[in-house]
Homo-oligomer: A and B are copies of this chain.
Amino acid sequence: MSIKFYGFWRSLAAYRVRVALKLKGLDYEEIPVNLLAGDQHDPAYLKINPQGAVPALILEGVAQPLFQSMAILDYLDHAHPNPSLMPTQPADRARVLALAHLCASDGHPLVVPRVRNYLQNTLKLDEAARNQWLQHWTLQALQSFERALTQDPRAGRYSHGDQITVADLCLASQVIGAGFFGCELVDLPRVTAIHQALMEHPAFSESMPSRQVGAPTPTTTH
């Protein structure tokens, strides 16, 4: 089976999908779409992802490309269930998805390139105000995540017990974003511990933005 994965080294949404592909042991070819250069708005690329964003996935035998990271993760988990990234009980699934969406739906969409461009070019915010925005929303999602972990006994080594789930993929991407934006992760002990545990897994550490083609420095991240 052939998988074409449209990503970008810096994209946090692409990170989630890259980790899932590696966790499931799937072979893929990553095709970079330079978001900083605006390549996602190219008419040819819009035929692949009508939103003009990454990630997108083209699969052998699937007529239309897949897009939106959470939709791609759902697909991969149904089509390649081993290992599964979701619990089986509906209430547990709901918990994992709620945690995932704290990052993927409410934290991350506020710091993507199209929003950063609007802050700079339309609102004419200076760099300090832009950084304050990026840190504020990135941290707010992690604070909600921490509170959710504290209030629920189902948290464990990872966000949901000892199983790596989509909540962990989203948490890792959010913490990586916090690093990009210079956030100080204070009063987030559970978030920090889970992130550390995740980074011990090669699927998470090898997917790091800094280790992808196109990243500005060829250093590894520890």
Contacts and interface: CB of A to CB of B under 8 A. Distances in A.
A67 B99 CA distance: 9
A215 interface: no
Contact of A115 (B46, B101, B110, B151): B110
Size bin of chain A's contact surface: 35 or more
Contacts of A114: 140
A139 interface: no
A114 B94 CA distance: 24
A179 interface: no
A140 B67 CA distance: 16
B68 A97 contact: yes
Contact of A101 (B68, B122, B140): B68
Interface in A101-157: 101-102, 104-106, 109-110, 112, 114-115, 118, 122-123, 125, 129, 132-133, 136, 140, 144, 147-148, 150-152, 154
A94 B75 contact: yes
Interface in A33-55: 46-47, 50-53
A194 interface: no
Given A51-B106, A144-B50, A91 B64 contact: yes
A79 to B, nearest CB: 5
Interface string A67-85: 1101110110011000000
Given A71-B96, A75-B91, 13 more contacts: A46-B147, A51-B147, A64-B95, A64-B154, A74-B93, A74-B94, A75-B93, A75-B94, A79-B90, A105-B105, A106-B109, A123-B125, A123-B129
20 contacts: A47-B151, A50-B147, A51-B106, A51-B147, A52-B144, A68-B98, A68-B101, A70-B70, A70-B97, A70-B105, A71-B93, A72-B94, A74-B94, A74-B97, A75-B90, A75-B91, A75-B93, A105-B105, A122-B136, A123-B129
